[in-house]
Amino acid sequence: MDTSPVPRLELRGITKRFPGVLANDNVGFAVMPGEIHALLGENGAGKSTLVKMIYGIMQPDAGEILWNGQPVTVANPKAARRLGIGMVFQHFSLFEAMTVLENIALGLDAKVPQRELEAKIRAVMQQYGLLLDPHRTVSTLSVGERQRIEIVRALLLNPSLLIMDEPTSVLTPQEVEQLFVVLRQLAKEGCSILYISHKLHEIKALCDTATILRGGKLVDTCDPKVETSRSMAEKMIGAGLKDIVKGKDRSFGAARFTVRELSVKSDSQFGTSLDRIGFEVRAGEILGIAGVAGNGQNELLLALDGEIPVGADAILMDGKPIGARNTSERRRLGLCAVPEERHGHAAVPDFTLADNSVLTARDRLGMVAGGLINSGKAKTYTGDVISAFSVKAQGHGSAANSLSGGNLQKYIMGREILQNPGVLVVSQPTWGVDAGAAAAIHQAIVDLAAQGTAVVVISQDLDELLSLCDTLAVINGGRLSQKKVVGEVSIEEIGLLMGGVHGTAEETHITAGAAHAVPA
């Protein structure tokens, strides 16, 4: 093991400017050999920009990068790999229709004969317990297995620094544990790991050191084992954390929103078909739908809000079948929805906020008379949303794409919530949103439910669902599990459901991902 005091990687005064933003402002820290170093910060704090410069995708405007004590210029990713820097990206670059082996071969800089490569891959897989059949086609693999391909691809080059960009955002709790075993083994062998995340408990469990960024600046470098999750979170957001305030003894009314035997055939090759989904949400209840991305969440939202047609009796609102109603009719009846993608789905990026209010609120709030739009009403309503949800915008005339992600999300949530819906369906309500805005959005959802609205929250963030929701179901491969009561269900149980183990013994079917699971 390398115990020399020379850091493997050291950054000094790294600065990177983009038009209008200072993405990194004089950032410096060091990663020692064999150290697992967390890079912690909210979305937009400058983590990605920083690692892109380390990996040679971008060049810093100022500052220097030292590799084993020597100043280096990392011209491009190929140069980074030559130095011994490997990176596993958050979004995989894999060809669905090709095998594991072919995908790895395509990503290599040098041409290696296939048999030799396969032997090498098998050796690496064996060494780290990354079990995977090199001849499987990628489209048949789970997200966790796909990530293993990327890790194997990086490890083939014997890196001495491995950068992992938000690696657990798509994994089940069990898969996260397996990943940590591999990373700890790598670190023990002397490989440094730069671990980018905003999940504090993971960092506490895995990392030796944490560097915290906020707004492009270095806030602190600390020992996550000593810090509490709360103290790191407060450094990360630069303010005190607000907890969700839920009323005491919440009681639920009658069933407001019922989904029965909802099946939707996906029209794209790699989409997920919904298979006999059923659940019921009572007045005042917040139901969470957990699951790893790509398991039918998008299709479910589109089916619920009327963007894809379903059978008339598949969806009931206050006992009335609404499955055959279109989006506008459902909204008039009081079903509002917020899809995951803000730009171009929940909002029109180059429209003003007032026009974006017309998009979904025009019928419910009487903004249309005789085929003409009452723009005064739209502006007034938009002003109400802006002030009620403290949206940072110049006014109703601001273009949607001029708002930050968190502010746009607050506006969109506000636009739907102030319509006072009977049923609210939201997907990823706080995805890519800073902690302050996330807390405000969570509180707004809880307050809406307290008025008797039935709420469905679809999210990949299990922590969010556990703190926000009353009940929880898990979607996997287009099938929805039984509804569980939050507080009575264990994380392990949810994790198993997310990994594809369903319900009762005779019904249990294990997906490819779980079948290859390695005992942690």
Partner 1 sequence: MQFRLEKRPQPSQLMLYLAPVLAVLLTMVVGALLFSALGYDGIGAVLEIFTKPLTNPLKWQDLGVKAAPLIIIAVGLSIAYRANVWNIGAEGQYVAGALGGTAVVLLTMKMQGPWILPTMIIAGMLAGMALAAIPAFLKTRFDVNEILTTLMLNYAIVQLLYFLLRTSWKDPMAFGFPRTALFTASQSLPYLWPGTILHWGVPIAGIVAIIAWFVMGRSVFGFQVRVVGSAPNAARYGGFSANRTVWLVMLVSGALAGLAGVLEAAGPFRQLVPAFPTGYGFTAIIVAFLGRLNPFGCVIAGLVLAISYVGGEVAQTTLGLPSAATGIFQGMLLFFLLAGDVFVRYRLRPVVARAQGEAA
**Interface with partner 1 includes 358 (CB under 8 A)?**
yes
Residue with the two structure tokens 């090498």 = 120
Tokens, residue 446? 């809880």
**Secondary structure E strands in 320-440:** 320-321, 335-338, 368-369, 372-373, 423-427
Among 5, 113, 319, 371, binds partner 1 (CB under 8 A): 371
Q: Given the rule CB under 8 A, which of 371-379, 415-423, 439-447, 453-461 is the region that contacts partner 1?
A: 371-379
Q: Does 72 bind partner 1 (CB under 8 A)?
A: no
Q: Which is nearer to partner 1, 92 or 252 (CB)?
A: 92
Of 166 and 285, which has the nearer Cβ to partner 1?
166
Which member of 6, 373, 439, 518 binds partner 1 (CB under 8 A)?
373
Nearer to partner 1, 131 or 359 (CB): 359
Q: How far is the CB of 20 from partner 1 (least distance, A)?
A: 8
Q: Give the angle 108-111-112 at the CA atoms, nearest 5°.
A: 95
Alpha-carbon distances, residue 1 vs 64, 123, 245, 436 (angstroms): 27, 21, 50, 43
**Alpha carbon distances (Å) from 54 to 45, 47, 219, 474:** 16, 11, 19, 38
Shortest spacing between CB 129 and partner 1, in angstroms: 24
Sign of CA dihedral 171, 257, 261, 338: negative
Sign of CA dihedral 223, 224, 228, 233: positive
- Contact residue for partner 1 among 137, 345, 466, 510 (CB under 8 A): 345
Among 13, 78, 95, 126, binds partner 1 (CB under 8 A): 78
3-state SS class at 510: coil
The residues, ordered by sequence, that sit 6+ positions from 2 with a Cβ below 8 Å of its Cβ are: 33, 34, 190
Which residues contact residue 454 at a Cβ distance below 8 angstroms, ignoring those fewer than 6 apart? Answer: 256, 257, 281, 282, 283, 284, 285, 287, 422, 423, 424
Q: How far is the CB of 152 from partner 1 (least distance, A)?
A: 14
Residues 283-342 interacting with partner 1 (rule: CB under 8 A): 305-307, 326-328, 331, 337, 339, 341
**Cβ proximity to partner 1, 51 vs 472, nearer residue:** 51
What's phi and psi for 274, nearest 5 deg? -85, 135
Of 261 and 350, CB closest to partner 1? 350
Contact with partner 1 (CB under 8 A) among 5, 372, 488, 490: 372
How many residues does this entry show for the chain?
520
Which residue, 48 or 209, has its beta carbon nearer to partner 1? Answer: 48
Please give the full DSSP string across 15-64, using - where no structure is assigned: EEEETTEEEEEEEEEEE-TT-EEEEE--TTSSHHHHHHHHTTSS--SEEE
Q: Which of positions 8-27 make contact with partner 1 (CB under 8 A)?
A: 19-20
Q: Are 314 and 262 in contact (CB under 8 A)?
A: yes
CB closer to partner 1, 185 vs 326: 326
- H or E element that contains 515: helix 512-515
Considering the complex, state which of residue 91 and residue 320 has its C-beta at the smaller distance from partner 1: 91
Q: How far is the CB of 132 from partner 1 (least distance, A)?
A: 18
Distance CA 302, CA 161 (A): 42
Number of residues that bind partner 1 (CB under 8 A): 48
Q: Does 201 help bind partner 1 (rule: CB under 8 A)?
A: no
Closest to partner 1 by CB, 354 or 517: 354
CB of 263 or CB of 327, closer to partner 1: 327
Residues 97-126 binding partner 1 (CB under 8 A) are: 106-109
Q: Which residue of 221, 229, 231, 375 would you call a contact of partner 1, by CB under 8 A? A: 375
Which positions touch partner 1 (CB under 8 A)? 19-20, 56-57, 75-78, 87, 89-93, 106-109, 150, 305-307, 326-328, 331, 337, 339, 341, 344-351, 355, 358-360, 362-363, 368, 371-373, 375
